[in-house]
Amino acid sequence: MQRENWLLVIRVSFWGVININLSKVHELFDVYECEVLTSHIENKELIKGFVSAKEGDSLESYLKDPAKAWKEDSDGETRVYIIKDKSIKGATNIACYFSLKCGLLVGDKIEEKLSEEELALLEPYIEAKRKNDGNAEQNMFDAINSFFPNRADTLFAIASERLNRKTEALQIGQSENTINVPLCFSAIELRHFCRNASYRSTQKLNIPLGFGLFWEKIVPVILDISDRIGSKYVYLFAADKTYNGMEVGTKSLINHYKENLKFHECDNVIKFVKPDYDHWCYGLIQEISELRANKEAIWEQFSDVLEEGLPGN
């Protein structure tokens, strides 16, 4: 059976079960166009009508504050995009906005994963070797052999590698400007993603708008960027700043990103580089190769489970 003849069956909690020809799904989103925020000066006025569903949301204030979204986009620090409904004129034609920036994920080599007890002995041993303190080095050497006889050789090898990193940074004169890590992974950060609560579609989508715009409009931009610069991951920091506390709201938003946008927690190797302004945010990642495959399969996979009312829709 050809792809365009498949039927998309979507369970919508309010309307019940609705059948939509899959080929029509993509057509529904052809009315939307994605453009860089600062590509048209009139966008500076249009974004004044943008409203987040949550009162006092920082996502809304970020977009409207000329010292933030507009300036960061102009300076090239962050690329901010708005998605417009071409069938509507005026401020209410902005369906959502999102932003992307180059990021970085770091990681530990699996063989260098250490327990707190191992670190407690290994770090003084490394420092003693760096300072050529023979007595302290011998004491820590004996302690490591005594407490971890089966791991001693591995621990000494790790110590040697870590000492080499520190020594290199000192010798090239950049010890104050360098953070040495075992592994680095190229990545793109999906920094913002917010729907305009004042936007009303002129067509009956019967599909959660945020879900559709992510897969039909945002993902192609991410894939195009990764094709140009090379990137292994896309990641985001999820936060739900509700007045009733973080736990319930954050869980709901995280579940949405995991179940519907296919993000997931990182494994024990990968670590996020997390800025202070993302305090209380929960990091999620997705390999670009996974994102590409998920884009092809997402409509079939969710044909019988999509529901209205998902976070961000």
Model pLDDT for residues 8-37, shown as the tens digit of each residue: 443 333 333 344 456 677 788 999 999 999
Q: Please tell me the total number of residues recorded for the chain in this structure.
A: 313
Say whether pLDDT at 310 is over 90. Answer: no
| Cα Rg of the chain, angstroms | 25
**Residue with token string 């080599």:** 109
Angle at 259 between CA 304 and CA 101, to 5 degrees: 130
Q: Which CATH class is domain 3-107+183-301?
A: alpha beta
- Rounded mean pLDDT, 284-291: 97
Least confident of 50-64, 72-86, 123-137, 167-181: 167-181
Say whether pLDDT at 305 is over 50. Answer: no
Task: List beta partners, residue 7.
Answer: 21
- Parallel, antiparallel, or unpaired: how do β-strands 282-287 and 16-21 relate? unpaired
Query: Do the beta carbons of residue 235 and residue 287 sit within 8 Å?
Result: no
Model pLDDT for residues 106-148, shown as the tens digit of each residue: 987 766 678 889 989 999 999 899 889 989 999 999 999 999 9
Q: With bands split at pLDDT 50, 70 and 90, how would you rate the model's confidence at 176?
A: confident
Cβ-proximal residues to 308 (8 Å cutoff; 6+ apart), any chain: 12, 13, 14, 208
pLDDT at 180: 77
pLDDT at 232: 97
The pTM assigned to this predicted structure is 0.75
pLDDT at 10: 38
C-alpha torsion angle, residues 211, 213, 217, 220 (rounded to 10)? -10
pLDDT at 188: 98
Model pLDDT for residues 207-259, shown as the tens digit of each residue: 789 999 999 999 999 999 999 998 999 999 987 554 344 455 457 888 899 99
Query: Do the beta carbons of residue 52 and residue 197 sit within 8 Å?
Result: yes
Could you tell me the CA-to-CA distances from 256 to 154, 239, 292 in Å, in that order?
A: 41, 12, 19
| Distance (Å, whole) CA 190 – CA 291 | 13
| Distance (Å, whole) CA 302 – CA 313 | 16
